[in-house]
Each structure stands twice: as C-alpha cells, then as structure tokens.
Amino acid sequence: MKVVIIGSGNVATVLSRKVLSAGHEIRQVIGRDKDHAATLADELKCSHTSTFDDIYRDADLYILAVSDSSLSEISNKLFLDKKLIAHTAGSVSKNVLKNTSKNYGVLYPLQSLRKEIKAIPEMPLLIDANTKDNLVLLYNFAKTISDKVQIADDEERLKLHVAAIIVNNFTNHLYALTDDYCKKEHLDFKLLTPLIKETSSRISSFSPGKIQTGPAARNDTETIQKHLELLSQNLSLKKIYEVMSESIIEHVGF
C-alpha cells in the first residue's frame, strides 16, 4: 500500500519503520516541525512537508499519528474526501475523523514506543473503522505489521487504554519513586532490575493474582508496620505503600 504518515514523533516514527519493513511504500511525512519531519523522511527515503496544502493525495492509507489533543484540530483542517485515514489514539473515538474523510478508522498500537530504540518491541494493534469494508482493509494492513491484531470499538479501546496506563505508566512511576528513594538512602536501584524482570516474565505464563508475593499477600502486619515506620520521612511513598498493601490484602481475601 502507498502510505502517508502524518506526524513525526515517537508513534509516527516507530509505526513508519514497521510499515516500511513490511514492504509498503511510504510516500510522504507531514509534520508541524519541519526539522523532525525532514529527519524522519530522510530515514524513510520519502518526501516531507509541514502543510496540508502540499499533501500527497494518491495514497491508499493516511496514518494520523499525533497527540490526542491535536486530533480535533487537525481533523477540521484536513480534507481527504474518500481516502482512508486512521488515527493512532487509544482514548479518542474514531468519529473524530468523520469530517476529514468518508472512510476512517483507528490503528492503535498497544505499546510504549520510543523512536530512540532501534529494536521495535512486540506491538499489538487495535483497529476499528466506520464501515465493514474499511475494517477489512485496516485489518489486512495491520496483519502485515503485527502478529497480534484485534478489533476494538471506542469503548473497548478506551478501557484497554486505562489498563495500559495502570500497568505501564503507573508502574514506571513506582520505579521512579523507588529510584529516588534508593538515591536518598544511598542504595543501588540496579540491584532491583533482576527482580523487576523476573516478575514481568512470570505474568506471561501465570495470572498476576496467582503469583502475588510480599508481606501484604501474607497479611504480615508486623513487617508492613516496620516498612511504614521506615518510610515515615517519605510521606508520598508511605501513602502509596499503605494503599497498595490494603489493596493486596483485600484482593487476596484475608
């Protein structure tokens, strides 16, 4: 397929690499930042522009990979008639594109993507479209760049987006807080890396609830109290420890 990439950030960059490696032809990159668009276009060996006036109009698919907050603005400025366009947002309805084209949908990568990382991680794709024919087109396209493709409507995609925020962003925030704690206490955070990797690997084979460990999972109130006393000078981390421990105890069923 002939593809136009709208955007030049992390998602646009990683997706375009997958699209190109799958044998599709990327004809153009469109980005508000001329330098970023030019850099990505050079990598993809295609043209670039920073204005919709110069958009390539004979592509088979237009991938709109921009921030969620920019979608409404762009959809009201970009008009593609009957060309198929898909945005990449998890929390935005496909209908945001109804004024852009008669054929539209969603191509949402359920993965944390960083353009600096050359090795592209496994990337499930959630798709949706305004017609059955467009859904088939997007599904067939998605299967060329991912082994895991599922159809998910606006509500399902939003729910999965919430789940992704919790398991990814919230978990990483816990890592950041723990890193700060280790620095303050002159501890080596990297000593925790094998533990993090081991737990992450286990949930590929087991239900997370079945492998829960720690004092809260044992209802070991004595150890929990010692930890809370140790965190008395770190109120934010202490609060999180209390809330998480209470949640684990309730979930385990003590």
Confirm if 122 and 149 have CB atoms less than 8 A apart.
Answer: no
Non-local CB neighbours of 131 within 8 Å, separated by 6+ positions: 103
Greatest pairwise CA separation for the chain in angstroms: 68
Q: Average pLDDT for residues 197-216, to the nearest whole number? A: 94
Mean pLDDT of 97-117: 95
Whether 119 has a pLDDT exceeding 90, the answer reads no
The count of residues in the chain is 254
Confidence of residue 222 (pLDDT cuts 50, 70, 90): very high
Task: Please state, rounded to an integer, the average pLDDT across all residues of the chain.
Answer: 95
At residue 28, the pLDDT reads: 97
* The three-state (H, E, C) secondary structure of the chain, written as one string: CEEEEECCCHHHHHHHHHHHHCCCEEEEEECCCHHHHHHHHHHHCCEEECCHHHCCCCCCEEEECCCHHHHHHHHCCCCCEEEEEEECCCCCCHHHHCCCEEEEEEEEECCCCCCCCCCCCCCCEEEEECCHHHHHHHHHHHHCCCCCEEECCHHHHHHHHHHHHHHHHHHHHHHHHHHHHHHHCCCCHHHHHHHHHHHHHHCCCCCHHHHCCCCCCCCCHHHHHHHHHHCCCCHHHHHHHHHHHHHHHHHHCC
Q: Which domains, and CATH codes, for the chain?
A: 2-152 (3.40.50.720), 158-252 (1.10.1040.20)
pLDDT score, position 139? 98
56-96: per-residue pLDDT in tens?
999 999 999 999 989 999 988 999 999 999 999 999 999 99
Model confidence at 209: pLDDT above 80: yes
pLDDT reported for residue 179: 97
Residue 117: pLDDT band (50, 70, 90) is: confident
Model confidence pLDDT, tens digit, residues 146-183: 999 999 999 999 999 999 999 999 999 999 999 999 99
Residue 254 pLDDT > 80: no
Which residues, including other chains, have CB under 8 Å from residue 57's CB and lie 6 or more apart?
80, 83
pLDDT of residue 196: 95
The closest alpha carbon to 75, from 108, 47, 52, belongs to 52
Q: Which whole number is the average pLDDT over 22-38?
A: 95
**Half-sphere exposure at residue 124, Cβ-oriented, CA atoms within 13 angstroms:** 12
Question: What confidence tier does 21 reach under pLDDT thresholds 50, 70, 90?
Answer: very high
User: What pLDDT was estimated at residue 207?
Assistant: 94
What is the pLDDT at residue 121?
A: 87
Which stretch of 44-53, 115-124, 195-204, 244-253 has the lowest confidence by average pLDDT? 115-124
Q: Is 94 exposed, middle or buried (0-12, 13-18, 19+ CB in 10 A)?
A: buried
Q: What is the mean pLDDT of residues 22-35?
A: 95
